[in-house]
A and B are shown apart, each in its own frame.
Chain A
Amino acid sequence: GAGVSQTPSNKVTEKGKYVELRCDPISGHTALYWYRQSLGQGPEFLIYFQGTGAADDSGLPNDRFFAVRPEGSVSTLKIQRTERGDSAVYLCASSKTGTGAENIQYFGAGTRLSVL
């Protein structure tokens, strides 16, 4: 595809359940980022992958959150024992590389997660 693809676009779950959110980056982009946007706020950094490895996971709020990118392309953000406070739009972005300011991040449309 031409852009960053995120699935599902919407996810409704119950408190305590496990969810997986998928991101398919632009082909050839080695850098992949996850952000979380709560209502009325800007996107907040969660984790950055360079290739298959998580180079910076300093934004993950706690150990219920985990992300993988096993083949250096598609990434999955996993949330265990969801809480109502996890409700937000989860955004994925990719760029050609993760260094050099000229490497613009391109965002997907996001997954809106609602925890009831």
Chain B
Amino acid sequence: DQQVKQNSPSLSVQEGRISILNCDYTNSMFDYFLWYKKYPAEGPTFLISISSIKDKNEDGRFTVFLNKSAKHLSLHIVPSQPGDSAVYFCAAMFSGGYNKLIFGAGTRLAVHP
């Protein structure tokens, strides 16, 4: 039973354009959501997060949107750069517990010149 789903295994975007990565979840107990970025042979690196009391959080070129009623979140990267090419994982958790992260399967983003 996959509680966090990233339905697009890969995404290709031209440099300078917007990248939109999507994530869906099923467990309504989740109240905190994170995006991690992973390069080959490295561990996941925290990128940006959002609490369920918000619907948007922005950090530079990265913005995360949360639609609680649809149990959907998305990560927008504007403008996309070649260095953004990596695997992006969506993760969810219940903050009243032990911060155990439930991850999606990831989306591989390729930004080409």
Residues of A within 8 A of B (CB): 4, 31, 33, 35, 40-45, 48, 50, 55-56, 59, 91, 93, 95, 98-101, 103-110
3 closest Cβ contacts across the A-B interface? Answer: A42-B103, A107-B43, A101-B95
Interface residues of B in 47-68 (CB under 8 A from A): 49, 51
- Whether A50 lies near B98 (C-beta < 8 A) is yes
Cβ contact of A101, chosen from B32, B104, B106, cutoff 8 A? B32
Residues of B within 8 A of A (CB): 4, 6, 9, 31-32, 34, 36, 41-46, 49, 51, 89, 91, 93, 95, 97-106
Which A residue sits closest to B96, measured CB to CB? Answer: A99
- Whether A91 lies near B100 (C-beta < 8 A) is no
Chain A to chain B contacts (Cβ below 8 Å), 7 pairs? A31-B98, A33-B100, A40-B9, A101-B51, A104-B46, A107-B43, A110-B43
Q: What's the minimum C-beta distance from A56 to chain B, rounded to whole angstroms?
A: 5
When chains A and B are docked, how far (Å) is the Cα of A86 from the Cα of B100?
21
When chains A and B are docked, how far (Å) is the Cα of A31 from the Cα of B41?
24
- Whether B101 lies near A105 (C-beta < 8 A) is yes
Q: Which residues of A contact B43 (CB under 8 A)?
A: 4, 91, 93, 107-110
- Whether B32 lies near A99 (C-beta < 8 A) is no
Q: Which residues of A contact B4 (CB under 8 A)?
A: 42
When chains A and B are docked, how far (Å) is the Cα of A92 from the Cα of B6?
23
A42-B105, A42-B106, A43-B89 are contacts. A48–B100 as well, Cβ < 8 Å? yes
Cβ contact of B100, chosen from A4, A41, A45, A110, cutoff 8 A? A45
- Whether B44 lies near A107 (C-beta < 8 A) is yes
- Whether B49 lies near A43 (C-beta < 8 A) is no
- Whether A42 lies near B99 (C-beta < 8 A) is no
When chains A and B are docked, how far (Å) is the Cα of A105 from the Cα of B35?
11
Most buried by A among B46, B91, B98, B99: B99
Which A residue sits closest to B46, measured CB to CB? Answer: A104
- Whether B101 lies near A104 (C-beta < 8 A) is no
- Whether B45 lies near A100 (C-beta < 8 A) is no
Q: What's the minimum C-beta distance from B23 to chain A, rounded to whole angstroms?
A: 11
When chains A and B are docked, how far (Å) is the Cα of A45 from the Cα of B49?
19
Which B residue sits closest to A38, measured CB to CB? Answer: B105
